Amino acid sequence: MVSLFVFLFFTPWGKNLKDWVSSLTLSTPNLEQELNSNTAYISMDWALIKDDGSKVILSEINQPIFLNIWATWCGPCRSEMGSIEDLYSTYGNRVTFLLVSPTEGLEMIQKYKASRNEELPLYVNGSQTPPNLYGNVFPTTFIISKEKKIVLKSEGAHDWNSTDVHQFLDALLQK
């Protein structure tokens, strides 16, 4: 029994197993409720540093944005990464995916990305976070129009590769 406890809580395999089991219980975000609660524009520009060291400026992005605020230590964040990666494989050329770990450094997210073998672009802060993009919960996800209007804010882990999310992004891309 002690061996199982050690395996589940103190090894990378146990952590990956817990993340996978958690991912099986993710639900689709309530897009209608979330949509009605947010209609603000981003209040200031934001510089981000990508996992390859390049810099991205929010105002220079000319397409919709899927912005996920997360952390490497956050179990719910890790559990939704698979669904975000699936969504990214479908929309990555039409929607900019910004997965930002605002509390960790570049080296930490590079190490995380190497250990997970994911294709998702990961970012850290390069300047002060705009006030209306702060989240009190990890993960918090924003979907932002190309005009930089926040059209969705959703807290907690979700299945982002659902039919509802696809329809939501398709409608946003039509505008």
| Helix H or strand E encompassing 100 | strand 96-100
Helix axes 163-174, 75-91, angle to 10 degrees: 50
The residue written with tokens 């932002």 in the block is: 144
The strands making up 140-144's β-sheet, listed across from edge to edge, are 55-57, 47-50, 122-125, 96-100, 65-69, 140-144, 150-155
Please report whether residue 20 resides in a domain: no
Q: What is the pLDDT of residues 86-124, one digit of tens each?
A: 999 999 999 999 999 999 999 999 999 999 888 899 999
Query: Is pLDDT of 152 > 70?
Result: yes
What is the span of the domain harbouring residue 60? 28-174
The CATH number of whichever domain residue 94 belongs to comes to 3.40.30.10
pLDDT digits (tens, 9 = 90+) for 3-24: 555 555 556 555 555 554 554 5
- Asked if residue 56 belongs to a domain, the reply is yes
98 in a domain, yes or no? Answer: yes
Count of domains observed in the chain: 1
Residue type, 55: K
Does some domain include residue 5?
no
Q: Is the residue at 54 inside a domain?
A: yes
pLDDT digits (tens, 9 = 90+) for 127-143: 999 988 887 899 999 99
The reported pLDDT for the residue numbered 135 is 76
Total-model pTM: 0.83
Residue 49's DSSP bridge partners are 55, 124
Position 22 in a domain: no
| pLDDT tens per residue, range 47-97 | 999 999 999 999 999 999 999 999 999 999 999 999 999 999 999 999 999
Least confident of 1-10, 39-48, 154-163: 1-10
Q: pLDDT-based confidence at 31, cuts 50/70/90?
A: confident
Q: Identify which of 53, 133, 47, 121 has the alpha carbon closest to the alpha carbon of residue 88.
A: 121
